[in-house]
Amino acid sequence: MTSGGVADSSRPVIEVTNVTKIYRMGENKVFALREVNLKVFPGELVAVMGSSGSGKSTLMNILGCLDVPTAGQYALDGVRVDGLSRNALADLRNQKLGFVFQGFNLLARTSAIENVELPLLYDRTGRWKDPRALAGEALARVGLGERFDHQPSELSGGQQQRVAIARALVTHPMLLLADEPTGNLDSRMTVEVMVLIQELNDQGITVVIVTHEPDVSRYAKRIIELRDGHVLRDHPIEKRRSAAADLAALGDEVIASPAEVTAP
Amino acid sequence: MTQRTLLRLAWQSILKNKMRTLLTMLGIVIGVGAVIVMVAVGQGAQAQIEAQISSLGTNLIIVLPGSIAQGGVSQGAATFNRLSIQDAEKLKREGTTFAAVSPVVSTRLVVIGPQGNWRTSINGVSTDYFTIRDWTVTSGAIFVDADVTSGRKIAVIGATVAKQLFPGQDATGAQIQIGHVPFTVLGVLVAKGQNAGGQDQDDVILMPYTTAQTRLSGNVRIGQILVSTFTPGDIPAAQNEITSIMREAHRLGDGADDDFTVRNQTEIAKAATSTTSVMSGLLAAIASVSLIVGGIGIMNIMLVSVTERTREIGIRMAIGARGSDVLTQFLVESIVISILGGIVGLFAGYGGAMALAHFTGWNTVVPPSAVLMAVGFSGAVGVFFGYYPARKAAALNPIEALRYE
């Protein structure tokens, strides 16, 4: 089930070279990113930190092939992304990327399994023979093996985020991009989601998390801090925390949400 | 994405908004239903007129007295009647493309029966007349060629005459007086009802033309000659043959105008049906306006739906949906809604046509092509009015769509 292993470890998953992004607000030019250089290698767990306006959302959009840089180059798994058409970007997102959002972004009134299955239905390579079964496997992998038919409104926030992670994983992506994945979760659920992300990373998936919470960034292996569109600091973490250990330490002291209580 | 998946997604989305979908569909249901009812009324009227015209007889050609021009002024139809029994007999004798030929010697006289009297049309005809008009008797018999040759005083009476003179009885074999001449009733005709002009075709008495001419009318000129052909395709050739035989009979020179008029049933039918087909076309056109209104309803709802589901579109794009996937999804949705509406409208229209026929007594005919029409039109409406909203959805920027609240 590992997918990060597709690339050899010497070739960067992400290679950002002199990327600049300018937004035009009427007459004014706003520099969201200024000549950013960045490499992320397979197996890394990177936290991108920064206050609002630092350019981390813009960087996320570019890394996620949702947006293209104004200047500079971006290569995903050795493939140049800048200058690609809308359709090519869509295919790239489908085949190489998995997204996890702050607001979960699951389709409402659509069962968990159908949400997870969705990326496979947009596949154009014909690689996936049985989307339903693969979606089931992905849900089992995030620990939701018995909640296939539940709709998002019937799940707790933590469970919804796990469905979203399953959806991101189901295509065996090169890279998991998580945009404030714990922003809408309480502290216990935050740790639970981070346990899952660390597990997946240990299995070889490259992960980039955008967050402004220092607590969350401490679970990463490397932190990149942005300010005003520049990379301010880029350093590895020496004393990396284990989410699993933190969860064990929490024990039962934090009261679980009602939905968690009813969980089988 | 497979077609089955697309249909499933469309169906899911339709089910998520049942009430809205139903209301949207209603526009198409009413549109298609209205078109079908109007087409049914138009077709019904046309079918009725055609039936009335074919009740005149099959493959019928009518020879009428012509008009003549005096000093350059046409005197109008039948101003100078030169039609005679001899013309009819010559047509019968020399014609090669005719199935049957009969003169019609017409007059109106009072008929006296055992229980009353009745003024009616008297038509002197040959035995061919029954073939031409495809007319038989309910009781008794029709006369034969020998009766015509010998000029027997026998009559075959229409259903209306029989009802007036012999209410509740069988008139066959009874004696009647027509213009003081005693006749024996040989048979009673099958009722034909009204003709296209609203005249009662059963208010008539038929007898051998020899008898009618010598005993009753005394006029050597006759009102019309009826000719029928074997097939509708023979009609043009038969008309030419009639013209040449008649011109020879009347000894008309090369430059002279015809002193008779030849009309065929198709021309008569055409004149009568052209009005109704214009009317039914007009009705259908008005009804199709409601189909367009229904289509605009679909466009409206799909636009609302695209706005409402902006975030969903963003999610789909983020996980790899191309613009064309989103376009197809919304297009399939609007087509499914409108075709469903079309199918329901088909049944509604069918029911409406039946109800209309029941309550107004109008003849309504839902043509079999209505099924294709309903599905085809509604599908076309779905594509036409669904395309713009679908394209709008497909053109959304994924980042902005994801950020949309």
| B316 at interface of A, judged by CB pairs closer than 8 A | yes
Taking contacts as CB-CB distances below 8 angstroms, the residues of chain A near B319 are 93-94, 99, 118-119, 122, 167
Q: Which of B8, B16, B311, B322 to mutate to test the interface with A (most CBs of A within 10 A)?
A: B322
Taking contacts as CB-CB distances below 8 angstroms, the residues of chain A near B402 are 66, 101, 105
Looking at residues A240-255, what average pLDDT do you find? Answer: 78
- Residue contact A122–B320, C-beta within 8 A: yes
- Residue contact A94–B320, C-beta within 8 A: yes
| Alpha carbons B63 and B241: distance in angstroms, whole number | 12
| Alpha carbons B390 and B393: distance in angstroms, whole number | 5
Selected residue with higher pLDDT from B314 and B215: B314
| Alpha carbons A24 and A30: distance in angstroms, whole number | 6
pLDDT at position A257: 45
Assign A9 a pLDDT band (cuts: 50, 70, 90).
low
Total residue length of chain B: 405
Helix runs in A31-130, H state only: 56-63, 86-96, 112-121
pLDDT cut 70: percent of chain B above it:
94
Residue B238: name the closest of B358, B127, B101 by CA. B101
Selected residue with higher pLDDT from B349 and B219: B349
| B324 at interface of A, judged by CB pairs closer than 8 A | yes
The secondary structure of residue A212, as a DSSP letter, is S
Taking contacts as CB-CB distances below 8 angstroms, the residues of chain A near B311 are 105
pTM of the model: 0.71
3-class secondary structure, B375? helix
Q: Which of A90, A110, A171 sits opposite B317 (nearest CB)?
A: A90
Q: Which of A99, A122, A167 sits opposite B325 (nearest CB)?
A: A122
Assign A4 a pLDDT band (cuts: 50, 70, 90).
very low
| B402 at interface of A, judged by CB pairs closer than 8 A | yes
Looking at residues B112-135, what average pLDDT do you find? Answer: 89
| B4 at interface of A, judged by CB pairs closer than 8 A | no
The answer to whether residue B135 scores a pLDDT higher than 80 is yes
Residues 6+ apart with CB under 8 A from B61: B226, B227, B228, B229, B235, B238, B239, B242, B262, B263, B264, B265
Q: Which domains does chain A have, with CATH numbers?
A: 42-68+84-262 (3.40.50.300)
* B121 φ/ψ angles, rounded to the nearest 5 degrees: -80, 135
- How does DSSP assign B225-285, residue by residue? EEEEESSGGGHHHHHHHHHHHHHHHTT--TTPPPSEEEEEHHHHHHHHHHHHHHHHHHHHH
pLDDT digits 0-9 by tens, A141-196: 888 888 788 999 999 988 999 999 999 999 999 899 999 998 888 888 899 899 99
| B20 at interface of A, judged by CB pairs closer than 8 A | no
Kindly state the helix (H) or strand (E) to which residue A201 belongs, with its residue range: helix A187-202
pLDDT digits 0-9 by tens, B28-83: 999 999 989 988 888 888 888 777 777 666 688 888 887 655 555 555 555 567 78
**Residues paired with A97 in a beta bridge:** A175
Chain A closest-CA separation from residue B381 CA (Å)? 27
Q: Which of A91, A93, A171 sits opposite B318 (nearest CB)?
A: A93
- Residue contact B402–A90, C-beta within 8 A: no
| Alpha carbons B376 and B343: distance in angstroms, whole number | 10
Instruction: Find the chain A residues whose C-beta atoms sit closer than 8 A to any C-beta of B.
Output: 61, 64, 66-67, 86-87, 90-91, 93-95, 99, 101, 105-110, 118-119, 121-123, 167, 171
| Alpha carbons B145 and B155: distance in angstroms, whole number | 14
Q: Which of B318, B322, B323 sits opposite A66 (nearest CB)?
A: B318
CA torsion, points B4, B6, B9, B15, in degrees to nearest 10? -80
The secondary structure of residue B190, as a DSSP letter, is P
